[in-house]
Amino acid sequence: MEPVKIGLLGLGTVGGGTVSVLTRNAEEISRRAGRGIIISHAAAKDYDADAISGLDQVGIITDDAFAVVNDPEVAIVVELIGGYNPALELVLKAIANGKHVVTANKALIAKHGNEIFAAAQEKGVTVAFEAAVAGGIPIIKAMREGLAANQILWAAGIINGTGNFILTEMRDKGRAFEEVLKEAQALGYAEADPTFDVEGIDAAHKLTIMGSIAFGVPLQFEKTYTEGISKIQPQDVVYAGELGYRIKHLGITRKTEKGIELRVHPTLIPERRLIANVDGVMNAVVVMGDAVGPTLYYGAGAGAQPTASAVVADVIDVVRALTTDPENRVPHLAFQPNALSDVPILDMEDVETAYYLRLQAIDKPGVLARVTRILGDAGISIEAILQKEPAEGEVHVPVIFLTQRVLERNMNQALRQIEALEEINGGVMRIRVETLK
Residues serving a catalytic function are 206
Measured CA distances, 411 to 253, 420, 430 (Å): 20, 14, 10
CA-to-CA distance for 366 and 168, rounded, in angstroms? 37
CB 131 within 8 A of CB 141: no
How many whole angstroms from its chain centre is CA 206? 4
Q: Using alpha carbons only, what angle is made at residue 356 by residues 355 and 357, rounded to the nearest 5 degrees?
A: 110
Helix and strand element counts for the chain (H, E): 14, 17
Answer whether 132's CB lies under 8 Å from 107's CB: no
- Tell me how far apart the alpha carbons of residues 373 and 380 are, in angstroms, rounded to a whole number: 10
Which among 231, 248, 251, 252 is positioned nearest to 240, based on CA atoms? 248
Read off φ and ψ for residue 308, nearest 5 degrees. -60, -35
Cα separation values, 158 from 162, 205, 224, 360, 437, Å? 10, 13, 16, 30, 16
- Residues linked to residue 158 through DSSP beta bridges, in sequence order: 284
Residue 269: strand pairing partners: 246
Question: Half-sphere exposure (CA, 13 Å, Cβ side) for 126?
Answer: 26
Question: C-alpha angle with apex 129: 3 to 181, nearest 5 degrees?
Answer: 125
Q: Please, what's the b/e burial string for 82-119 (b: 16 or more CB within 10 A of its CB; e: otherwise)? A: beeeebbebbbbbbeeebbbbbbbbbbbbbbbbebbeb
**In contact, 396 and 363? CB cutoff 8 Å:** yes
